[in-house]
Chain A
């Protein structure tokens, strides 16, 4: 195993143990929350979830535990809103020499945007975003973890010919396929650099075509992450995952691989190590490729499990494997590497930041009050459920005239007549009635009163209906918009927080990593809206030297429902003349490029006029009408130039019409046009308003026309 690491096993286990101890109260709170939103049958957890069943009901076979579904429902509603939109990547074009930004710079910026977008999607960012949003809501914070998909980018290493004979190497050298290389360890023979570079380039291209991204973006739940901060940000962090112990059982084939890796530098393989681990390490590509489960947060794997901790410093990553003994002692680093990011490649995405330095209290979430009141309601409902069950089973006592109960002669306790199995069947139960039969019931009115109070509070804590598109449907757009904006204030911190996290990932991690590439970045554009049938996903080559750090991430907080309301409000303002089209498209229709949108809108109006003669959208005499006429002429002219059949059809028609009107000399007709530029007017004078309409289906006189009929 390489021994150039900065921290040894003992130091890492010590840091992990210290952080683990500090995080325990926080993790326990998170455990309760998980139970509240999962509503599992194991939800007792020191009665923090409010499903305690008091004696004597706890001995009943039909004791009921009741959990309300509101916490998970509210988490879902918040997540649906804050994860409604993907982050948008904006690269700011930078021109150092001139004030005006040239087209090349603009194009490069656009390509870099597409590259980041594609890498984000291919790396799993889109699904990670939804998971992070879920964690932001229920647990106050989610985490992104990102690394290069493979440390060597999945590209081939240089081929060395150490095992060839001198004669074979001489033969290769004569063919130009081997060159001497001295990288400090003596002269060796390797493939020429240009051949190697071409292989790397081809491999990079192949990866892109097969849809493999350069990075992997993962989401981590907060109960699997422990982090320490200093003034520069995250100082170090550990991702603690539970893995099934079965993955590490002695005798697994994969165990041998990791053992070999641990000793590959010395060649000494310890039999005990071979039997101990189950992680598969690919030496050629320098990466762990499998052998064990992906793992889950602590508490997710049942009883027999190991901890696999990914421990990050600003320079290195360690995989530390330890038994489930709670203190990380006795474990060992099974793999480590410098990650080259110069910062911990984990990014926190809080819902709200509180400014506190205490573990678990640095962040907050709008779901807090619901999480606080849910156990109370659970407990009351649990009690009520059991009381209802009790009351539903007939049990009677006999109240005597003096107000006492008929007692059991043996115990002295009130004699209870129960329907268990069925009262009256056993002759022993028959008693001379001395008083009134009275059913035993539990009085629940105070519980009900309390429950109603809490439910009323819970209602006020939920996402307002207007924020889910259910409210204000009968009011004008602006009032609904007002309600939406108000409710969005709750959501905006989470959305902005995600955009900021993605910006951190791109500018502080992905771009510096990409700059280490010695081959072009190849990527297939991410799927998006198609404006025309000609839009396809294309393979794009991007030179890492052209990367700029000026990346901005925007993320919209409007849902589809919000957009409808927003557009309606914008249309009203546009119609009343209070805003122009640019403002409408930018601020109300929320399109990426308002100028393009205006052009497309005007072109759509022209289309109905030019192609279909519809003047409802463009009034005769208006500026756009004149543009339409010019377009009509140009289209006609272009068709004459580009389609021989069309030109022929027009010419045939003109001849026929000229013959039908002998009083209009053909020469006069021709000179009226005055050549190519005048052709539209010429055609117009012939009554041709739309391309092709009214033309003959065949051209009389042509061989095909005659033969085909």
Chain B
């Protein structure tokens, strides 16, 4: 630590601790952002049929494209699930 208390190591330490703490705090608040009966993806597992509808709606409104950029992991996860279950459901539904 320097005499002023401000050096690279210290600031990095402050940043690391702050990110950990604030992320934890913010994550604890996330459920409250959505209200008691708001969005519930993962709060209540969607079955395959509901998920396909849910994903198609997102895709139709361009939300999945934004997700590809800001949260590629979730976008990939949902796309792969959609790719896996949708053909069977859609074909089955057509029949």
Given A599-B10, A631-B22, residue A692 in contact with residue B33 (CB < 8 A): yes
* Interface: B17 (CB within 8 A): yes
Given A611-B26, A642-B27, A698-B39, residue A647 in contact with residue B6 (CB < 8 A): no
Q: How far is the CA of A645 from the CA of B46 in the complex (A)?
A: 13
Max count, chain A CB within 10 A of own CB: residue among B14, B57, B61: B14
Given A606-B18, A642-B23, residue A651 in contact with residue B37 (CB < 8 A): no
> Which single residue of chain B is at the shortest CB-CB distance from A695?
B33
Q: Please tell me which stretch of A228-236, A309-317, A372-380, A668-676 contacts chain B, meaning at least 4 of its Cβ atoms lie within 8 angstroms of it.
A: A668-676
Minimum C-beta distance from B60 to chain A (A) = 9
What would 17 A/B residue contacts be, using CB atoms closer than 8 Å? A581-B5, A599-B17, A606-B14, A606-B18, A624-B14, A628-B18, A644-B74, A647-B71, A649-B34, A655-B63, A675-B69, A691-B29, A698-B39, A702-B58, A703-B53, A704-B39, A708-B37
> Which single residue of chain A is at the shortest CB-CB distance from B5?
A581
Chain B residues packing against A (C-beta within 8 Å): 1, 3-6, 10-11, 13-15, 17-19, 21-23, 25-27, 29-31, 33-35, 37-44, 46, 50, 53-54, 57-58, 61-67, 69-74
* Interface: A598 (CB within 8 A): yes
Chain A residues packing against B (C-beta within 8 Å): 580-582, 595, 598-600, 602-603, 606-607, 610-611, 623-624, 627-628, 630-631, 634-635, 638-652, 654-655, 658, 666, 670, 673, 675-676, 679, 682-683, 691-692, 695-699, 701-705, 708-709
Residues of chain A contacted by B14 (CB below 8 angstroms): 599, 602-603, 606, 624, 627
Minimum C-beta distance from B75 to chain A (A) = 8
Q: Is the CB–CB distance between B67 and A651 below 8 Å?
A: yes
Q: Is the CB–CB distance between B26 and A697 below 8 Å?
A: no
CB-based closest 8 A-B pairs? A647-B71, A708-B37, A697-B35, A698-B38, A704-B40, A699-B39, A651-B66, A692-B33
Q: Is the CB–CB distance between B69 and A670 below 8 Å?
A: yes
Query: Which listed residue, A638, A647, A697, touches B33 by the CB 8 Å rule?
Result: A697
Q: Is the CB–CB distance between A598 and B5 below 8 Å?
A: yes
Minimum C-beta distance from A690 to chain B (A) = 9
Q: Is the CB–CB distance between B11 and A709 below 8 Å?
A: no
Given A652-B63, A698-B38, A708-B38, residue A645 in contact with residue B30 (CB < 8 A): yes
Residues of chain A contacted by B69 (CB below 8 angstroms): 670, 673, 675, 679, 682
Query: Which listed residue, B33, B62, B70, touches A683 by the CB 8 Å rule?
Result: B70
Residues of chain A contacted by B67 (CB below 8 angstroms): 647-648, 651
Minimum C-beta distance from A610 to chain B (A) = 6
Q: How far is the CA of A470 from the CA of B19 in the complex (A)?
A: 44
